[in-house]
Amino acid sequence: MPTWANMLEFLKGDPAFFAKFVDMYPRFVLHRDVKQLIGVLLSTRSPDEGLFALPFPSPVAAHACADFISATPRTDGKDPLDPSTLSITSLNTTPPVTALFFPAARMMDVVPWWTITGRGLSSRAAEAALSSIANTPLAESPLPGPETPFTSPAHDALRARIAQLLNRAQRQGSPYVAAGDVHLYQTGMTAICAAHTALLHFRGTKTVMFNLPFHSTVHVFEYFGPGVQFFPLGTELAALETYLESEAAAGSPVQAIWTEIPSNPLLVTADLAALKALAMRFEAVLVVDDTIGSFANVDVLPEADVLVTSLTKSFSGYADVMGGNVVLNPSSKYYTYLATHFNGAMEEMFVADAETLLHNSADYLARTAVLNRNAQELAKYLSHRATLEGSSVTRVYYPQVAETKEHYEALMRPPTAEFTPGYGCLLSVEFTSVGAAKAFYDHLYVHNGPHLGAHLTLALPHPKALYDKELEEVREWGMKEEQIRISVGLEEVAELLITFMFALTKADEAEAARDLVKEKV
């Protein structure tokens, strides 16, 4: 989405526009290899049937999708599909693929499950399946039995690496994490779904989301389970305490409190010590998503019972593979219970994806140091621009300049000779008007899209792109159409500053022109 106009076309959801995409974030737009595999799957059916298909790594995932889209009523408010119009077929590919067939006309009622849960077949699994079809004619095969976790030496090595990184430069009170406490999933959203599903077995009551998370996270809580109470500012501790008291008094104590460190896209850091105290008092599980802070920089395990991370982001760092993890804190009072519910369900990371994550993350600390430095320099420069007379920049959102800076810094790992922690790769910048934000975005010659933590700098009008129909509501949370989210990459700092200077000049010019028109009027 290289221009504001492209983004507006994206928001319309026109299939003809989406057909122009070669590739995009795979949960949002089907990867080319997945599309090709779908074409092969559809070739096994008559065109007269008017079907479409989505491939999954297991029958369990395919059936979960079918159950959700045919439920009456559907928790996402969409019209349910007639179960008689759905069919599930396992195929003799390597790796095994299970296809869910459904009426093509209902595509937009099925895709939300794929997008929100992240449980669709990965592009590398699709590529491997296509290769196997070239050597063996495609045929149906009996549905396999209950799944066991996808395992390989790469999975084992990846778990060990994550555990080792969590055990380095720990804060006081942080536990030793064994590789067996690390659970791997095919996407970050699948990791969130897995953790939430396990917690539903724990108590089956409402979830609290404390601060702004990734857009799809709240939908997981809304669509799967009894619901969510949302505290979007990440600072409403008194209101949270009152809510927890009322739920406990009503006999339905909250099952879990979730927070992201820091929030997305406003980079607010919740007071994790205070959340831990409330979680202990009301016997709720505290779940922390540290994707944006990144566990190279922050250590949340002295407080968190459960850690969730999207490995797709800065851990991988090269925007070419997806993955997620859930880490159970062995010192948590809930550890024994939770461990029994993390028994392989949804752990369907394809072997080649595990191998790629292992390869990419070999330089995780070195890359994170550069991401930290570049983002810090850019935030410093943008903050300076905000102080200049006539500047179109009004505010910068970054953990180091946030009002909640002390909460973030309390979670930072101690510096070592190997690595000094920083404030992460993500920041947001706010402009005086939508026109200035548009001019900035249209002239900011970096990559564009919803990803973050990559080797290349990425920009996105995050509130507009993800909350277009809710802009009035989210403005009360601090998100505005005038904001652009920036995920800073590994480019040279001087190169980045020159790129941003040019775009900021265009934003200033647009704002000056707007002021001139207002004067004439």
- Distance CA(220)–CA(75), nearest Å, equals 10
pLDDT at res. 209 = 98
pLDDT at res. 137 = 77
Question: In which residue ranges of the chain is CATH 3.40.640.10 found?
Answer: 153-362
Q: The domain at 153-362 falls in which architecture?
A: 3-Layer(aba) Sandwich (3.40)
pLDDT at res. 148 = 45
Question: In which residue ranges of the chain is CATH 3.90.1150.10 found?
Answer: 364-520
Instruction: Give residue 344's identity as a one-letter amino acid code.
Output: G
pLDDT at res. 486 = 98
Could you tell me the mean pLDDT of each successive run of 10 residues in the chain, 521 residues long?
Answer: 86 78 78 94 94 95 97 96 96 91 96 94 96 84 57 96 98 97 96 95 94 93 96 98 98 97 98 98 98 98 98 97 98 94 86 97 98 98 96 98 98 97 98 97 95 97 93 96 98 98 97 74 52
- Kindly give, in sequence order, each residue whose CB lies less than 8 Å from that of residue 245, ignoring residues fewer than 6 positions away: 282
- Kindly give, in sequence order, each residue whose CB lies less than 8 Å from that of residue 398, ignoring residues fewer than 6 positions away: 267, 375, 376, 379, 423, 426, 427, 428
- Distance CA(226)–CA(204), nearest Å, equals 7
- Distance CA(146)–CA(31), nearest Å, equals 28
Query: Cα–Cα distances in Å, from 422 out to 154, 296, 405, 411?
Result: 29, 9, 12, 11
- Kindly give, in sequence order, each residue whose CB lies less than 8 Å from that of residue 521, ignoring residues fewer than 6 positions away: none
Prediction pTM value: 0.95
Confirm if 425 and 453 have CB atoms less than 8 A apart: yes
Q: Concatenated DSSP letters for 319-376? A: SS---EEEEE-TTSTTHHHHHHH-SSTT----HHHHHHHHHHGGGHHHHHHHHHHHHH
Could you tell me which CATH number the domain at 364-520 has? 3.90.1150.10
Which two structure tokens, joined as six digits, stand for 446?
Answer: 């970096």
pLDDT at res. 63 = 95
pLDDT at res. 143 = 59
pLDDT at res. 19 = 74
pLDDT at res. 146 = 45
